[in-house]
Structure 1
Amino acid sequence: MELQQMRYVVAVAETNSFTRAAERCLVVQSALSHQIARLERELGARLFERTSRRVRMTPAGEAFLPAARQCLEAADRAAAETAAALGEVRGRLAVGVISTVAAVDIPDALREFRRQYPHVRISLRVGPSEDLIDRVKHGAIDVAFLGLPTTTRPDGVAAHELARDRLVAVVAPAHPLADQPTVTLRGLCSEVFVDLPAGTAGREESDQAFSAAGLDREVAFEVTTADFTARLVRSGLAVALLPSAYVSQLTGVVTIEVADAPARVEYAIWSRGGRAPAATAFLAILDIPAA
């Protein structure tokens, strides 16, 4: 069993395609397929179900995947730690962020990191907070920046609080509430909302606030990015609750203070098992303490 074979399996699992996996791994598809078939023979089990239309992992493949990822992570960390002992920062830096992160300027920090450490492979994933926490736990992401309700803390990871913020209402310029300096949750509950999908941490903070006030609201639009949220608000189709530190980046919308608004906390998180040298160097650029 070889590390390269594991990389191929992970690539196919993440892309659901032998063709796209080969492109990612910079090999021809026949070579990738041959190595995976060789690994399957060695394991005595098929890892993928292949048809002309789709690729899907078998139960054996699902069982193999987490261990394969751990092996690759361990190999990458071993190489990075060796380089760090020689005074070099190498390896990878996988960063995760929510779309409304406001406490840190991620693009600016990544640009400075690349300038200082050009030999590190950088990747970025945007997703909901709960997904980022899970990926940090499993080593798929090194450092993540997320937001949670004040009643919740990141579980199973090391965390550093970055900032606290309150949500504000965001409406179209022509909306009847646009000229109001302040509104309450009761004054908003009859509006049609755009929000994150149900079950996400970002949605939870708003749902909790309306529920605690004994109010119901209609969330007609569920989206995963703040940019699309703003587009729906600009069109007059819905209103939204967004972090006040983030809405300053938006144009074509009106912000209204919410007297009884929910709050959130932004965190930087990383694995409890320790940080790779690249992750430590990246957090140092952001002046986030090592402890």
Structure 2
Amino acid sequence: MLRQIKYFQAVVRNNSFSEAAEACNISQSAMSQQIQALERELGFQLLERKKRKFELTPSGEYFYKKSIILTADYERICREAAKIAHGDESVLSIGYLRSYNGQAFFKAIDKFASDYSDIMVKTVPGNHEELFQALRAGDVDLVFNDQRRAFSDEYVNVILDRSNLYVGISMRSPFAELKSVTLSELKNTPCVLVASAEQQMAEEIYYRDVIGFQGDFLFAENTEEAKLSVVGDNGFTLTNGENHNREIEDLICHIPLFRGGNQMFQTYCAFWKKEHCEKEIETFVDILKKQF
């Protein structure tokens, strides 16, 4: 019956017998037969057929919602039982940049979790130095980080992307009318950095001495708090501009950030110790690289 329930869910999810059959790799006639067999087993009608279309019956709608919970619980029970049977649990611990505001990392986590459901993914946020220390101490298996120092031979260093930098600033700011901007032009507007209390000084030194911003700094615990500061016209953030289409981004103007006539960029990398070249690490990094 479980397989028939999954077929039923596929029909509802795709709103089509033919598309559900294709997704499940069976014929459309076989799909119809399986749904009819499920209805006979249950003793009530799930779908009301109307020529080439269908609608959920009230009982079918209730059954569909509850069956989603049922199959999710079943799959989790199977995974937990398999871990007990095998006597171990595979865990991939990934450190990621706390200030990252793009989508690639999240898409990679989703893809990896979907393809390798037997491996538990643990994520640990941090700033550059926190992630570097966590990797050195063995607290994480790999880190997704920005490049701020020369590559070390102790680690596998994979460049994932070189993203152009933008200034995220309130649409109400006069700067929103500019087609590009430099950090010197922004010196009287605070720069909002995402950093823990312990890393605020290190982040300020980096952005002042290396990036070259000579104005004041504000700090936020996470990217959403930083965006709220920007929306409130309290300062600007540095962003790779990936999230232009998200709803909150409609309130934020993204202006290309230039220095010396060229747009500035940020290099994203994956790092892990050479002696820890496990297959799941390399697999995740391959997935992550494809998302950029």
Same fold by TM-score greater than 0.5: yes
2:103·2:243 contact (CA, 8 Å) conserved in 1? no
- Residue 176 of structure 1 pairs with residue 174 of structure 2: yes
SS at match of 1:199: helix
1:100·1:246 contact (CA, 8 Å) conserved in 2? no
| RMSD between superposed Cα atoms in Å | 2.9
Rg larger in structure = 2
* Aligned ranges 1:276-287 → 2 under 5 Å: 276-286=278-288
- Amino acid in the other structure paired with 1:190: N
- Residue 199 of structure 1 pairs with residue 197 of structure 2: no
Alpha-carbon offset, residue 205 of structure 1: 4.3
Aligned length: 194
Inter-CA distance 115–240: structure 2 relative to 1 (3 Å threshold): closer
- Cross-structure match for 1:136: 135
* Aligned ranges 1:176-255 → 2 under 5 Å: 176-196=174-194, 197-200=200-203, 204-205=206-207, 207-210=209-212, 216-219=214-217, 221-245=218-242, 249=246, 251=249, 252-255=251-254
Q: Normalising by structure 2, report the TM-score.
A: 0.58
Unaligned runs of 5+ in 1: 1-82, 84-88
Q: Alpha-carbon deviations, 1:154-210, whole Å to 9, x = none?
A: 54432101111232212111111111112222211111221242313x872464232
Structure 1: how far apart are the matches of 2:189 and 2:289?
A: 41
- Amino acid in the other structure paired with 2:178: Q
Identical-pair percentage: 16
Inter-CA distance 171–107: structure 2 relative to 1 (3 Å threshold): closer
- Cross-structure match for 1:113: 112
- Amino acid in the other structure paired with 2:169: V
Q: Normalising by structure 1, report the TM-score.
A: 0.58
1:209·1:262 contact (CA, 8 Å) conserved in 2? no
Unaligned runs of 5+ in 2: 1-85, 195-199
Alpha-carbon offset, residue 268 of structure 1: 0.8
- Cross-structure match for 1:71: none
Structure 2: how far apart are the matches of 1:279 and 1:133?
A: 17
1:169·1:257 contact (CA, 8 Å) conserved in 2? yes
* Equivalent of residue 272 in structure 2, options 257, 270, 273: 270
Structure 1: how far apart are the matches of 2:117 and 2:131?
A: 25
* Aligned ranges 1:19-98 → 2 under 5 Å: 91-98=90-97
SS at match of 2:166: strand
- Residue 146 of structure 1 pairs with residue 150 of structure 2: no
Structure 1: how far apart are the matches of 2:206 and 2:285?
A: 28
Structure 1: how far apart are the matches of 2:187 and 2:138?
A: 40
SS at match of 2:175: coil
- Amino acid in the other structure paired with 2:273: S
- Cross-structure match for 1:123: 122
Inter-CA distance 247–222: structure 2 relative to 1 (3 Å threshold): farther
Inter-CA distance 113–258: structure 2 relative to 1 (3 Å threshold): closer
Alpha-carbon offset, residue 279 of structure 1: 1.8
Structure 1: how far apart are the matches of 2:102 and 2:223?
A: 15
Question: Between Structure 1 and Structure 2, which shows a larger proportion of helix residues?
Answer: 2
Alpha-carbon offset, residue 246 of structure 1: 5.5
Structure 1: how far apart are the matches of 2:209 and 2:286?
A: 35
Alpha-carbon offset, residue 265 of structure 1: 0.8
- Amino acid in the other structure paired with 2:212: F
SS at match of 2:275: coil
Structure 2: how far apart are the matches of 1:272 and 1:228?
A: 36
